[in-house]
Chain A
């Protein structure tokens, strides 16, 4: 079984709809992250969480919100989807590091299309 799972894997929706993307992990990691991937732009950080009570904005958080329901679950919501939120979305997890950052483990991604 995959250590980091994302649902759904693909989603097509319409402008103005509310969308939730879900991420679950079995790695026991405290840290979880949401990224979006766009061609030519690499991955950009949307939100991150270092534990259940800690939520932080990334570089492109406008138009998104998150919920950390448990150590293993981290959901990303688009309150009112718009076409330029069409992208590939990745969830990732990592263990804490005294030195600053550890390897991140990625889910398979959710391809979201907003019409």
Chain B
């Protein structure tokens, strides 16, 4: 099956700072990769995804590129806002883990004004 490792957190930034949250995966086959975001008191919602090598997913100013050579899918945003404060989860799915997602441990992001 797949496994996903995220950088340890929590991450605390000032507004307008640059954000990187690292994510690496191990998989047999070619998984699809996802970033989900969980705002306080809510369920997870999809932030972006990529389905094959070198694909770039983007949404709301966030970006992540599927790097097969480094088995990574790092999340970046050039200028964070207070409203980006949330928990971010990297996930891998498909390949030999048909129909299932494997999640990383989550990274808590707090952005201060």
Contacts and interface: CB of A to CB of B under 8 A. Distances in A.
Taking residues whose C-beta sits less than 8 angstroms from the other chain, chain A's interface range is 20 to 34
B73 interface: no
A89 to B, nearest CB: 11
A48 B99 contact: yes
Interface string B91-108: 001110111111111100
Nearest to B107: A42
Taking residues whose C-beta sits less than 8 angstroms from the other chain, chain B's interface range is 20 to 34
Contacts of A45: 100-102
B44 interface: yes
Contacts of B41: 108
Contact of B106 (A42, A106, A107): A42
B95 A43 contact: no
Given A97-B94, A97-B99, A108-B42, 4 more contacts: A33-B100, A42-B6, A99-B94, A104-B46
Interface of A: 4, 31, 33, 35, 40-45, 48, 50, 58, 90, 92, 94, 96-97, 99-101, 103-104, 106-109
